Amino acid sequence: MHLTNKSSILITGGTGSFGKKFVETVLQRFPNIHRLVIYSRDELKQYEMAQCFSGRDHPGLRYFLGDVRDRDRLTRACEDVEMVVHAAALKQVPAAEYNPMEFIHTNVIGSENMVQACMDAGVKRVVALSTDKAAAPVNLYGATKLCSDKLFIAANNVRGNRDLRLSVVRYGNVMGSRGSVIPFFLQQRHHGVLPITDPEMTRFNITLQQGVDLVLWVLEQSQGGEIFVPRLPSYRITDVAQAIGPDCEHPVVGIRPGEKIHEEMITTSDSYTTVDCGSHYAILPAGEDLQAYCQTMGGRLVPPGFNYNSGKNEQFLTVEQLRQLIQNHVDQGFKVPVGAA
């Protein structure tokens, strides 16, 4: 299935950081798209987003108020929709520990509602967004996203004769996303102190545009049942501090509850069903014909015991590369500190 101006797409969580970039990209490539539904529960964010992306300029654009906890509303939103991108989630780790059932209602039950709505409405392609925290989760947020991943993958087993494929895209830290370290450091550098959680800490790095491009590719190319993991560079938290505030103090404050030193997106247990496709990995369901998938998608099996960990990555971003990425993707007004190496 290929995206064209005749396509109809629904994106949940459509007013978030990913949703905005997704809508911007789709409208740039398909300005006369038949239907693009932005589904979210915040009327103010929808109003603000409509100032940038107007139905007057794009007649196929729809703003649909609703919560993923409401299955009937989701089913109505899926009418006349071929493709769904499920980006709605609660995702703040500390908030999940304090409000566990709220995260379960949105991230787990909301995902099951999405699956059932897609089946009832005749949707053909579904891509759900996941997170590195779903791999060997150590906090409730990660556990709810692991459950969500399992729901979307397992739904391929009960689709019957429907022309429906459901897949998951898992990636790590999005550069410049709300609540992430780079915007925090950019704000804090004016105070002269950039707190370091742990000097050994590393993270994978992906830009919003890279995330959107991967999801669009998966919508067209997935076979159904895969968890797609992009091959990404890593960065060291100390290099981020050096890139943004080399003249600042960098006190070590310790990691927060539920936080990992390194991101992990493929565990050793996943290695036995993981295919290396070059630009990305695909984790397949147990029992899948791995050799047939390799032939179809042009991949090869990873070695047994392989894991994909930001601390053991082959590629790390340099301080200079980080500064350039910050200028290009986070803050165009960012200036390299005077006298910085």
Catalytic residue IDs? 133
Q: For the chain, how big is the Rg over CA atoms in Å?
A: 20
DSSP secondary structure code for residue 158 in this structure: G
- What string of DSSP letters covers 178-204? TTSHHHHHHHHGGGTB--BS-TT-EEE
Expressed in angstroms, the distance from the first to the final Cα of the chain is 49
Q: With both helix axes pointing from N to C terminus, report the angle between 17-29 and 208-221 in degrees, rounded to the nearest 10.
A: 60
SS3 173: coil
How many whole angstroms separate alpha carbon 4 and alpha carbon 26?
Answer: 10
Q: How many CB atoms lie within 10 A of CB 339?
A: 7
Whole-Å CA distances, 22 to 30, 134, 160, 326: 12, 22, 30, 20
How many whole angstroms separate alpha carbon 172 and alpha carbon 265?
Answer: 8
Specify the pairing of strand 165-169 against strand 264-266: unpaired
